[in-house]
Amino acid sequence: MSGELIRLGLAGLGTVGTGLAKILASNADWIQRRLGRQVVIKSALVRDPTKVRDLPSRMNIALATSMDDLLQDPELDIIVELMGGLDAPYRLISAALARGKAVVTANKALLAERGNELFSLAAKHGAALYYEASVAGGIPIVQVLKESLAGNRIKALTGILNGTANYILTEMTDRGLDFQTALGQAQAKGYAEADPTLDIQGMDAAHKLVLLIRLAYGEDYPLSELPVQGISHVDPQDIIFADQFGFRVKLIAQVRHSQGGLDAGVFTALVRQEHILGKVDGPFNAVLVEGDAVGPLMLYGQGAGDLPTGSAVLADIMALARAGCSPNNTGFPEIVLPPAAILSPDHVRSRHYFRFTVLDRPGVLAVIAGVFGQRNISIAQMVQKGSSSGRNVPVVFITHSAQARDVTAAVREIDTQSFITAPSVHYRIL
Ligand code: NAP
Ligand code: HSE
């Protein structure tokens, strides 16, 4: 990478690609001052070259419709993959790495699914594969784990990693919006994935968590083994009950070092309103890291959108433009990371929120309390909303810390009782 210009071959000129183009235009002088060179997008691969695009005026980008146009251009210094999806980006990135070309991507789905192959290929060819924008949009957590906290043993990492889910939950909580309306708004604002089920079913956060586990622990946690829960089932009445108990409902991605293994998962949780993560709202993301030396450290910022994500993509481009020595892709020297020691989800302990829909009749609470007692689940608070003899009423419990295996067994047993009239709901409390 030498000469006056850093020339980019950009694959994808959608939300993030356009955001990158805008920053390159608006901050061109500043970027040149920092690097001593200009960064330009020479060509961009798109699906539909006739589409009207909101690009900076005076930006002269040649549109391409074949990835060979990018791969066979010897003038390109970096291939920037911002297409999304799996197959086409895999073909492009693997072909670029095989040619020894530096690659920057925001594609967490691809790296979570096929990262092992791509990082091995990059190592084999001494090529860079950078991915700051793939986790938490504008928040520079990849660089922080790879470089700034490299000497720490990470005890735990807890994040709000999906802007769309956090935006939906915030709108449902603060404005009483229904789920579909809030999702539509998140899509219109450019936060959601092309397939928004990835956001609302927790898979996008899972993709990001798997990448963070690699960076924090140097272990490969297979995506298929990660417990993942989304937010599409969240009932507005649980948001209201949570609020009455002083909590907010959040989609949490967490990994903790516990009992000699990694306890990891993506789950809907109740978070205390005063907790630092309870205050992270809208499309904002946050990552709370606990290192053995640094202690608790939190990064907070916009987890999605054109300019925040473009900012992270540009950080990788500038890091590569400066890099004089071999690239640091994974933060570890191994070509293939060892498999993670996974703690069985059954052994995870936490406090819980339960909502049972029951017939309002004598003896109901005694049965529920009896099942909890037999399973070592200790009740901290309880409320019955309304009273309507012989009719359905919700009863809500907050418990002390209990083991997941006991919680599952208790709910299964309670759900068989004749007084239960709708499936029970239970969430972890952070
Ligand atoms: P997007 O708005 O849907 O844009 C995708 C772009 O790629 C479009 O320009 C599209 O062309 C082009 N494209 C897609 N498939 C193609 C193919 N097979 N061949 C050629 N061109 C193709 O997507 P995005 O929101 O910018 O997201 C891009 C990537 O960044 C994804 O991996 C996403 O997960 C990641 N990401 C997004 C955000 C965010 O806030 N949006 C944040 C972090 C990471 P046309 O324009 O012609 O349709
Ligand atoms: N769809 C993602 C989100 C984009 O909502 O967080 C950022 O990765």
- Series of mean pLDDT values for 10-residue runs along the chain (430 residues): 87 96 97 96 96 90 95 97 97 97 98 96 96 97 97 98 96 95 94 93 98 97 96 95 96 94 96 97 97 98 94 97 84 93 90 95 94 97 76 93 96 96 95
Same domain, 95 and 157: no
pTM of the model: 0.95
Q: Are 157 and 216 in contact (CB under 8 A)?
A: yes
Spatial separation of the C-alpha atoms in residues 238 and 357, rounded to whole Å = 12
Which among 83, 110, 166 is the best mutation to test ligand 1's pocket, defined by most ligand atoms within 8 Å of the CB? 83
Q: Are 382 and 421 in contact (CB under 8 A)?
A: no
Same domain, 115 and 243: no
Using the mean position of ligand 1's atoms as its centre, give its distance from the Cα of residue 46 in Å: 9
Same domain, 11 and 49: yes
Say which of 42, 108, 146, 208 is annotated catalytic.
208
Strands, DSSP E only, in 236-378? 247-258, 261-272, 284-291, 295-302, 349-359
- Distance from chain centroid for Cα 308: 15
Instruction: Round the CA-based radius of gyration of the chain to a whole number and report it.
Output: 24
User: Could you tell me if residue 247 is inside a domain?
Assistant: yes
Closest ligand 2 atom to residue 208 Cα is: 8
Closest CA to 359 of 336, 393, 328, 327: 393
Using the mean position of ligand 2's atoms as its centre, give its distance from the Cα of residue 163 in Å: 5
User: Could you tell me if residue 194 is inside a domain?
Assistant: yes
pLDDT of residue 390: 63
Per-residue burial over 82-94, b if 16 or more Cβ lie within 10 Å, else e, is: bbbeeebbbebbb
Q: Could you tell me which residues come within 8 angstroms of residue 279 by beta carbon, excluding any fewer than 6 positions away?
A: 273
Q: Are 248 and 207 in contact (CB under 8 A)?
A: no
Return phi, psi of residue 31, to 5°.
-65, -40
Closest ligand 1 atom to residue 191 Cα is: 40
pLDDT of residue 79: 98
pLDDT of residue 149: 98
* Sign of the torsion angle spanned by Cα atoms 193, 197, 201, 207: negative
User: Could you tell me if residue 338 is inside a domain?
Assistant: no
Same domain, 120 and 175: no
pLDDT of residue 345: 85
Return phi, psi of residue 426, to 5°.
-145, 140
Pairing of the two strands 284-291 and 102-105: unpaired
Q: Nearest bound ligand to CA 133?
A: 1
In this structure, the residue with its CA closest to atom 1 of ligand 2 is 192
Same domain, 315 and 297: no
Domain boundary residue, one of 270, 287, 321? 321
Q: Nearest bound ligand to CA 202?
A: 2
Domain housing 286: 141-302
* Cβ 83 under 6 angstroms from ligand 1: yes
Strands, DSSP E only, in 12-98? 38-45, 62-64, 78-81
Same domain, 115 and 177: no
The dihedral region occupied by 202, where left means phi > 0, alpha psi between -120 and 50, and beta the remainder, is left
- Let me know how many helices (H) and strands (E) the chain has, helices first: 14, 16
pLDDT of residue 60: 87
In this structure, the residue with its CA closest to atom 48 of ligand 1 is 47
Same domain, 297 and 199: yes
Tokens coding 6:
């850093």
Q: Could you tell me which residues come within 8 angstroms of residue 83 by beta carbon, excluding any fewer than 6 positions away?
A: 11, 12, 14, 45, 89, 92, 107
User: Could you tell me if residue 184 is inside a domain?
Assistant: yes
* Cβ 162 under 6 angstroms from ligand 1: no
User: Could you tell me if residue 334 is inside a domain?
Assistant: no
Spatial separation of the C-alpha atoms in residues 75 and 81, rounded to whole Å = 17
Closest ligand 2 atom to residue 164 Cα is: 5
User: Could you tell me if residue 358 is inside a domain?
Assistant: yes
Tokens coding 393:
């009423």
SS3 221: coil
User: Could you tell me if residue 136 is inside a domain?
Assistant: no
Spatial separation of the C-alpha atoms in residues 269 and 341, rounded to whole Å = 24
Same domain, 295 and 159: yes
Pocket of ligand 2 (CB under 6 A): 137, 162-164, 191-193, 199, 204, 303-304
* Cβ 54 under 6 angstroms from ligand 1: no
Spatial separation of the C-alpha atoms in residues 32 and 372, rounded to whole Å = 64
- Within 65-131, residue ranges assigned H as helices are 67-71, 87-98, 108-125
Spatial separation of the C-alpha atoms in residues 276 and 288, rounded to whole Å = 9
Same domain, 104 and 161: no
Which among 82, 103, 104, 167 is the best mutation to test ligand 1's pocket, defined by most ligand atoms within 8 Å of the CB? 82
pLDDT of residue 2: 64
Same domain, 20 and 100: yes
Closest ligand 1 atom to residue 49 Cα is: 47
CATH number for the domain harbouring residue 297: 3.30.360.10
* Cβ 265 under 6 angstroms from ligand 1: no
Q: Nearest bound ligand to CA 159?
A: 2
CATH number for the domain harbouring residue 36: 3.40.50.720
385 catalytic? Reply is: no
Same domain, 102 and 225: no
Same domain, 294 and 152: yes
Number of folded domains that form the chain = 3
Closest ligand 1 atom to residue 204 Cα is: 34
Spatial separation of the C-alpha atoms in residues 128 and 124, rounded to whole Å = 11
User: Could you tell me if residue 56 is inside a domain?
Assistant: yes
Q: Please tell me the number of Cα atoms within 13 Å of 313 on its side-chain side.
A: 34
CATH number for the domain harbouring residue 357: 3.30.70.260
